[in-house]
Amino acid sequence: MGGLREKSDGALLRAVAAGDQAALADLYDRHAGWLHARLARRCADPEVVREVLQDTFVTVWRSAAAHRGEEAGGWLWTIAARRLVDAHRAQERTARTAPEPEAAATAPSAEDRVLAGLEYGDVGTALDRISPELREVLRATVVDGLSTREAARLLGIPEGTVKSRARRARTELRAALAQLNPSPLGGPA
């Protein structure tokens, strides 16, 4: 089945959804490098990074049919970030059930705690209330710390669109957070 390298992410994902293992291998070759680098910036344990990367592509194999669109980068990162949070939670549960002197060394970093808060705290709830395209831009530029150019390339949209979506996303996120936590003084938030 030649020509996989020229196919878009969307075409590869449609092929993966149809059970094409070669398409999954090509998608892996295309995206595993940058995913690994991003995960390694958030987790110092190379074994956890490898497991999360593997889990990410197992999830892609199982849920490729759910992806919509042509670019897969944002979707893949969302899966990987969630798997990383899950892995950290599993480590925390293990550390709580078997306290050992090394447990302090495996405590989550401040960045890991912030990422977990973003995923499951008020900010995560507020993020879920804004549109997916705005949420992707915020995650790419704020959570992942990508430049406008990097985010544009990752998401497959023009840089100007990244800037305008980021501005709209911040406005909508503020409004969603204000609804979750109204000002106790009754004034503007």
Tens of pLDDT, residue by residue over 42-86, are 888 999 999 999 999 999 999 998 887 778 888 898 899 888 888
So what's the pLDDT on residue 137? 86
Contacts of 126 (CB under 8 A, 6+ apart): 173, 176, 177, 180
For CA atoms 153, 156, 162, 168, give the dihedral sign: negative
So what's the pLDDT on residue 87? 87
* pLDDT at residue 132 is higher than 80: yes
Dist. CA 8–CA 27, nearest whole Å: 9
So what's the pLDDT on residue 70? 74
So what's the pLDDT on residue 67? 85
Dist. CA 116–CA 108, nearest whole Å: 10
So what's the pLDDT on residue 103? 47
Helix axes 148-155, 159-180, angle to 10 degrees: 90
Task: Report which of residues 45 and 120 the model is more confident about.
Answer: 45
Highest mean pLDDT among 2-16, 28-42, 94-108: 28-42
So what's the pLDDT on residue 42? 85
pTM of the model: 0.53
Q: Which of 31-35, 46-50, 125-129 has the least mean pLDDT?
A: 125-129
